[in-house]
Amino acid sequence: MTASSSAPSSADDAAAVLAAARRAKDAATSLATATRRVKDAALYAIADALVAREGEILRANADDVARVERSGATAAFIDRLRLDADRLAAIARDARKVAGLPDPVGEIVRGGVLPNGLELRQIRVPLGVVGIIYEGRPNVTVDAASLCLKSGNAVLLRGSSSAASSNAALVDVIRGALAGTELPVDAVQLVPGTGHDAAKHLTRARGLVDVLIPRGGAGLIRSVVEESTVPVIETGVGNCHVYVDADADLDQALTVLLNAKTSRPSVCNAAETMLVHAAVADTFLPRALAALREAGVTVHGDARVAAYDPAVVPATDEDWDREYLSLDIAAAVVDSLDDAIAHIRTHGTGHSEAIITRSQAAARRFVAEVDAAAVLVNASTRFVDGGEFGFGAEIGISTQKLHARGPMALPELTSTKWVVVGDGHVR
């Protein structure tokens, strides 16, 4: 038999993906009525299993890291992929944190009694089957499984080929843990197949998959949105700005800027652009550029920024729209708050935008006029995170405006239904 004839066909891939989706649909039926006690016990079992099977998970991850290093991947990409004992322990802690959060299923959103005596209640219910298509970061595998299980959803996980060994090991651990609980093992599955066709079949499984959530770069998100017949919740690209206003506390501005850019540059809530009001540029920029250079950050600046430091790389038109995910930052001098807001409107991605100012009027205008999922005043963009907001592990940060916006945690993984109770009422 030739290699080509033995390779799985697209039809085979489609059949395998649809079979997994049907299993997930069946599992979702059981999950929808699972009690908090049952769901929490499963999450604790998963957390314990991650710790107990640390060795095999880290060996699988080391295989992935070695493979992508040989391919010449960037340092930021490798950082997102890499697991170690501390990161794995943190992932297990996050699963336990999710177990400790309130169960959103059954929560009454609103309700009351109509004048005719009908009782109305709008309650939270699971979405059903959630498909997650994501790149690189294997922690998403556990975060997504934990949040979906707690919110009563089955999950189909489609990670990137770069993390194939890590994801396979993690899902094997999760399913092994579920086998000893009252939840169905098929509540958590890897999408079968390794090629693009497998992901495409998931995006076309309308009627079996209730919603898709892509997590990754702009190309991945655009591809899922354009190809999917399943409803999509977009978790967007983070071209986040820090604007230093004319009335900023410049010591505070420098501290916030450095944290937003350098604390973990490979994540979507890291700052990618610095805007500085012309009134404070002479005082602030020499300090900021020196501090950024000392931290290993390459500044891509406009001509006004470059005038302060010969090490500044001239910014191109593309730099204003880039999500670097690395120790790079774009920088510009603006003449007014209006100009800063206009720059963000033109180049921002609706993720997280920060202003540093002591002016209440400037802060109010910035908050009111900047269109983003999160707007921060005198705080680092790095706080825009489900864990930092007290939500537990997040499944992503939505930059769209329908269903959910901002960090998506348990309530955002539910829909609602109306329960109407009467006593023989007719219309």
What digits encode the pLDDT tens for the residues 68-80?
999 998 887 888 8
| DSSP H helix total and E strand total for the chain | 15, 16
Number of domains in the chain: 2
Band of pLDDT at residue 6, cut at 50, 70 and 90: very low
**pLDDT surpassing 60 at residue 114:** yes
Q: Which has more pLDDT, 163 or 217?
A: 163
Residues 376 and 405 in one domain: no
Q: What is the per-residue pLDDT for 9?
A: 60
In sequence order, what are the beta bridge partners of 289?
Answer: none
Residues 299 and 201 in one domain: no
Q: Which has more pLDDT, 77 or 324?
A: 324
Q: Is residue 3 part of a domain?
A: no
Mean pLDDT of 140-162: 95
Q: Using one digit for the tens of pLDDT, what is the confidence trace for 352-400?
A: 999 999 999 999 999 999 999 999 999 999 999 988 998 876 888 998 8
Band of pLDDT at residue 327, cut at 50, 70 and 90: very high
List, as one string, the DSSP characters of 35-75: -HHHHHHHHHHHHHHHHHTHHHHHHHHHHHHHHHHHTT--H
Mean pLDDT of 228-252: 94
Residues 288 and 407 in one domain: no
**pLDDT surpassing 80 at residue 268:** yes
Q: Is residue 391 part of a domain?
A: no
Q: What is the per-residue pLDDT for 234?
A: 84
Q: What is the per-residue pLDDT for 307?
A: 97
Q: Is residue 394 part of a domain?
A: no
Band of pLDDT at residue 231, cut at 50, 70 and 90: very high
Q: What is the per-residue pLDDT for 48?
A: 98
Q: Is residue 6 part of a domain?
A: no
**pLDDT surpassing 70 at residue 146:** yes
Residue 370 structure tokens: 């900047």
Q: Using one digit for the tens of pLDDT, what is the confidence trace for 9-53?
A: 677 888 999 999 999 999 999 999 999 999 999 999 999 999 999
Mean pLDDT of 102-126: 97
Residues 197 and 245 in one domain: no
Residues 182 and 245 in one domain: no
Band of pLDDT at residue 5, cut at 50, 70 and 90: very low
Residues 264 and 230 in one domain: no
d(CA 18, CA 41): 29
Band of pLDDT at residue 2, cut at 50, 70 and 90: very low
d(CA 404, CA 412): 6
List, as one string, the DSSP characters of 111-144: EEE-TTS-EEEEEEEE-SEEEEEE-S-THHHHHH
Residues 219 and 333 in one domain: no
Residues 204 and 161 in one domain: yes
Q: Is residue 392 part of a domain?
A: no
Q: What is the per-residue pLDDT for 19?
A: 96
Residues 232 and 246 in one domain: no
**pLDDT surpassing 60 at residue 288:** yes
Q: Which residue has the tokens 């992503």?
A: 396
Residues 207 and 272 in one domain: no
We report the CATH number of the domain holding residue 115 as 3.40.605.10
d(CA 325, CA 269): 9
What is the reported pTM? 0.86
Q: Is residue 312 part of a domain?
A: yes
**pLDDT surpassing 80 at residue 1:** no
Q: What is the per-residue pLDDT for 235?
A: 82
Q: What is the per-residue pLDDT for 378?
A: 98
**pLDDT surpassing 80 at residue 299:** yes
Q: Is residue 204 part of a domain?
A: yes
Please provide residue 305's backbone torsions phi and psi, each rounded to the nearest 5 degrees.
-70, -45
Q: Is residue 182 part of a domain?
A: yes
Residues 83 and 187 in one domain: yes
d(CA 364, CA 284): 23
d(CA 104, CA 88): 26
Q: Buried b / exposed e across 366-387, counting CB within 10 Å, b at 16+?
A: beeebebbbbbebbbbbbbbbb
Contact 361, 335 (CB under 8 A): no
The residue type found at 392 is G
**pLDDT surpassing 50 at residue 205:** yes
We report the CATH number of the domain holding residue 308 as 3.40.309.10
Residue 416 structure tokens: 């609602």
Domain coverage including residue 286: 240-383
Residues 55 and 73 in one domain: yes
- Of 205, 247, 236, 244, the closest CA to residue 332 belongs to 244
